[in-house]
Amino acid sequence: MPKWRAHITLAAGLTALFCGAGASMSHAQTMQGYTALREQVADIYADLKEQVPHIRQPSELSDATHALSTAQTAPGSQVAQELPPMPDGEFELMDLRLALVQLSFAVGSNDQITVVRAQAAEQPRVIGVQNGTVDFAQLREWVATRSSPETLMTGDTLRVPIVVLQNARLRIQPDDILHLSRADGAFIANLGSMIIDGAEISATAAPNTGASDFVPFVTTAGTGMVQISNSLFEGLGFGDTAAFSGVSVINRGLYAPIGDSFMVQSVLRDIGKVTFDGTDAAIIKGNIFAGEDAGTVELRHTQNARVIANIFADSANGSALRITDGSTGTTLTRNVVLSSASNGITVNHGSSNTIISDNIVWKSTGGGISITGSDCVYLANNIAIDNRRKGIELRTSQSSAVVANHLLGNQSSGLFVGDQPIGSHTTISDNIFVGNRIGLSSASAHRLTLQGNNFLNQFPRFLDGDLASQSHKIVADLRGEQDIDLTAGGIRSFATAPVTCTYKLDS
């Protein structure tokens, strides 16, 4: 029996969800199955778009869309971490400039002039949290004791920034609602620890007259840590500086953060960008990233991050999910990416030892999954369907493997391998190609070994690029009963070092 018939993994469960009860991955091996699958994905996408503007948590999704969310999110999705006890904290009005100086040590000074110009007061102040733990109710009580409290907070609307200092912790708890006033230049910057559970944080709509580009943001920086769960973030972020562009965790610096950060079971709607930078062991799990202005979720310089069972829809500014700038040991699994304006998933700039498994990427304007300049990437059991360009693209990526993926109806190649260094060897095994414009394409792939791949329903072309002349090898064995070696040119590299993969697969 060909190997590809044995691959019934979690991806099978997802396709069963889309195709109806009792379906299996074998259903998507035919043109009829692919057509049914694409229709079901389109229906779920339409349902998701209708519901996203109205939900506060992923659990509020209904019908098939809720089934998708719960099927993707395995038990135990809640992440808990014991935090050391702290005494009761205190509040103090501080000079904004002093707070920005501390923030700049961690995130730089780009776009800070916009933040300063956005402040409503002539001598801008921030509410500083220091010397212990406080919660949102205590903040309200403290504001009420100030002279002119309406200049600090009106109802649920915060009119000045909040800065959590290194020795402090802020808790924003279930049913807390916090609107950050765009017109007044409000934001939240956390240099200590922040717990956001069951809360709602959003930006108000009225523009800022002093800095029209300014939009409120939530950032954790330096040695800070944040734990986000069951919460809603909406309409946050401006510019290209990661700290100000939406919701971010920026742990660059000489000292390790005081704890691990995570974001679970939350809705992030119309957020400019979600960034984790320099963070170790971050967990992003069970969230929905969507909305007309949804941006990229980006991991930079991270180690051992886990991105699990999230839904990404309508990412308007670049790839839905980007792993970049030397991030290592990342696991991306059971995510659903729908209608991204660029690639669905991008891994680039030396981001090695990445596992990408059991994801669905549908109808990206770019490609489905793009790997560039990153070694030791393991791509397994993914479904790349109806993407405008390639289903999976692998460039300059040594010691990577492409295993048991379903490449369906992509408007360019189902799989492209290119710019591989001379001496590299890429294994392509147990994949299913259906209805792509081209099955497998190459430009300087050097050596490819095909094992157990199914081209039975791939047309109009099996191979293209510098592999085109070897199409007869595929025609002779469309079910992949025998191993096939394909050879092409390679790229000469004067700095190619030996590659040792360190990722570990679950048994």
Is the pLDDT confidence value at 20 over 60?
no
**CATH code: domain of residue 156:** 2.160.20.10
- Mean pLDDT for 159-177 is 97
Six-digit token string for 243:
């700290």
Task: Express each pLDDT in 63-84 by its tens digit.
Answer: 556 555 555 554 444 566 778 8
Is the pLDDT confidence value at 7 over 60?
no
Lowest-confidence segment of 28-32, 150-154, 471-475 by average pLDDT: 28-32
User: Alpha-carbon distance 403 to 497, whole Å?
Assistant: 25
Task: Express each pLDDT in 371-427 by its tens digit.
Answer: 999 999 999 999 999 999 999 999 999 999 999 999 999 999 999 999 999 888 899
Task: Express each pLDDT in 40-62 by its tens digit.
Answer: 999 999 999 999 999 999 989 87
Listed residues 230, 259, 288: the one ending a domain: 259
What's the whole-model pTM score?
0.93
**CATH code: domain of residue 367:** 2.160.20
The amino acid occupying position 257 is: P
**456 shares a domain with 311:** yes
Q: Quick one: pLDDT band at residue 460, thresholds 50, 70, 90?
A: confident
**Residue 143 domain-assigned (yes or no):** yes
Q: What are phi and psi of 224, to 5 degrees?
A: -70, 160
- Considering the chain, what percentage of its residues have pLDDT values greater than 70? 90
Task: Express each pLDDT in 448-457 by its tens digit.
Answer: 999 999 999 9
Task: Express each pLDDT in 185-228 by its tens digit.
Answer: 999 999 999 999 999 999 999 999 999 999 999 999 999 999 99
The amino acid occupying position 180 is: L
Is the pLDDT confidence value at 489 over 80?
no
Q: What is the pLDDT of residue 12?
A: 41
**Residue 506 domain-assigned (yes or no):** no
**461 shares a domain with 346:** yes
Q: What is the pLDDT of residue 63?
A: 58
**460 upstream amide cis, omega within 30 of 0:** yes
**342 shares a domain with 396:** yes
**Residue 222 domain-assigned (yes or no):** yes
**464 shares a domain with 418:** yes
**Residue 39 domain-assigned (yes or no):** yes
Listed residues 259, 286, 305: the one ending a domain: 259
**254 shares a domain with 154:** yes
Is the pLDDT confidence value at 273 over 50?
yes
Query: DSSP string spanning 323-341?
Result: EETT-BS-EEES-EEES-S
Lowest-confidence segment of 15-19, 58-62, 166-170, 262-266 by average pLDDT: 15-19
- Mean pLDDT for 288-303 is 95
Six-digit token string for 124:
């801008």
Counting other chains too, the contacts that 344-347 makes at CB distance below 8 Å and 24 or more residues apart are: 344/312, 344/319, 344/320, 344/368, 344/369, 344/384, 344/387, 345/319, 345/320, 345/321, 345/369, 345/370, 346/318, 346/319, 346/321, 346/322, 346/370, 346/372, 347/322, 347/323, 347/371, 347/372, 347/374, 347/377
**Residue 125 domain-assigned (yes or no):** yes
Mean pLDDT for all residues in the chain: 90
CA neighbor of 397 nearest in space, from 375, 421, 415, 418:
375
**271 shares a domain with 236:** no
**332 shares a domain with 226:** no
**Residue 426 domain-assigned (yes or no):** yes
Is the pLDDT confidence value at 4 over 80?
no
**133 shares a domain with 45:** no
Task: Express each pLDDT in 320-370 by its tens digit.
Answer: 999 999 999 999 999 999 999 999 999 999 999 999 999 999 999 999 999
**287 shares a domain with 158:** no
**172 shares a domain with 238:** yes
**How many domains, the chain?**
2
User: Alpha-carbon distance 271 to 372, whole Å?
Assistant: 26
Give the bridge partners for 268, in sequence order.
Answer: 233, 289
**188 shares a domain with 289:** no
**Residue 12 domain-assigned (yes or no):** yes
Per the document, the length of the chain is 507
Q: What is the pLDDT of residue 15?
A: 41
User: Alpha-carbon distance 22 to 359, whole Å?
Assistant: 20
* Domain span including residue 473: 1-81+265-497
**Residue 504 domain-assigned (yes or no):** no
Q: Helix (H, G, I), strand (E, B), or coil: what is residue 235?
A: coil
Q: What is the pLDDT of residue 254?
A: 85
Listed residues 229, 259, 289: the one ending a domain: 259
**286 shares a domain with 271:** yes
